[in-house]
Amino acid sequence: MHERFNKTSICSVVFLDIIDYSKKSGAEQVELKEHFNRILSDVIKDVAQNDRIIIDTGDGAAIALLGAPEEALFISLTIRDAISDLHKRNVEGLQVRTGINLGPVQVVKDINDRPNIIGDGINVAQQVMSFAETGQILVSRSYYEVTSRLTQEIMQMFSYYGVKQDKHVREHEVYVVRPSQHEHAPDTQGLASDIPVQAAAGKRHTDKELAWGLLVLALVVLAALLLDRNQVAPVAEVTAQQETAGQAKQSNKAGQVHEKDANKSILDKFTQSIKQGEKSKHCTQAEAALGHCN
């Protein structure tokens, strides 16, 4: 362990938090911590001492594992199963949520000259833990990317949980470890925790492509409507102009025919009256028009 001090290492960090620990009475806190410490001691006893650093956080613990990354997953599952066994024995008070991250840390000495860890590896593990519900195990993307490629069985243990934002406005893409068949799945607040990772990723891409497709279709329809409107309006205007011109032409022609018939009628009546030697009531007007009046 001494050769690791003040050196940066990439390790798996398990961050455990006891739900509502600070709200309990002093006696309840002591009882919960005894159950928690006993479970933790039993779980890590098989991990080499040089490959682990345990930090007591008061309302939980952080475990840095410097060996194989999958150890963090197995330890978290074992702790969850042990707590589930407690609940079966009617010890309901201990509720824990867990976050796992794979990242850089530095091993340093604490105030009591014991090994401690600092760095982004433990900070992100704590943030991932804060997104978890009671009984959930959430892991960061970096941890998922490494462990999910170890075996097919491990990959099938994860489901995509979504992108979460911490209080520092930093986004974290997290995955949830599926509960065992005999456990009740915790509330995921509408997130697709039971949807396979590949299906969730494919759904995001499909939704994005569908949105773009609908936008393009709307633009095409709008352009077609505008083009059709521009074509119909001139045609309607020309048609209206043609109809107006035709009506005016017919009106003028009818007026001319009417005036011609009236003049012809007056002239016929005048000619007939001359032949009969009579003065027509139209004579004065006709003679004036022909210049025969005195």
**Nearest Cα residue to 287 out of 276, 273, 247:** 273
Q: 48-57, 67-76, 124-133, 207-216: lowest mean pLDDT where?
A: 207-216
Distances (CA, A) of 83 to 54, 63, 64, 101, 129: 19, 17, 21, 22, 17
Statement to judge: residues 82 and 150 lie in one domain: yes
Domain-ending residue, one of 141, 176, 195 = 195
Model confidence at 129: pLDDT above 70: yes
Model confidence at 209: pLDDT above 80: no
Spacing of C-alpha 261 from chain mean position? 84
Statement to judge: residues 150 and 246 lie in one domain: no
Statement to judge: residues 54 and 187 lie in one domain: yes
The residue type of 27 is A
Statement to judge: residues 83 and 123 lie in one domain: yes
Give the pLDDT of residue 250: 60
The span from the CA of 71 to the CA of 102, in Å, is 12
Confidence class of residue 229 from pLDDT cuts 50, 70 and 90?
A: low
- The per-residue pLDDT of the chain, averaged, comes to 77
Dihedrals φ, ψ of 293, to 5°? Answer: -85, 145
Statement to judge: residues 179 and 213 lie in one domain: no
Statement to judge: residues 152 and 24 lie in one domain: yes
Domain-ending residue, one of 195, 230, 262 = 195
Cα 125–Cα 92–Cα 17 angle in degrees, nearest 5: 15
Domain-ending residue, one of 156, 177, 195 = 195
CATH number at residue 181: 3.30.70.1230
Statement to judge: residues 112 and 218 lie in one domain: no
Give the pLDDT of residue 197: 45
The residue type of 273 is S
Give the pLDDT of residue 279: 44
87-126: pLDDT as tens digits: 888 777 899 999 999 999 999 988 888 889 999 999 999 9
**CA-CA-CA-CA torsion sign (14, 20, 25, 31):** negative
Assessment of whether the complete model's pTM goes beyond 0.85: no
Statement to judge: residues 162 and 94 lie in one domain: yes
162-193: pLDDT as tens digits: 999 988 889 999 999 987 654 544 444 444 44
> What number is the average pLDDT over the span 30-38?
93
Enclosing domain of residue 279: 197-294
Statement to judge: residues 226 and 102 lie in one domain: no
Q: Which residues pair with 158 in a beta bridge?
A: 177
What total number of domains does the chain contain?
2
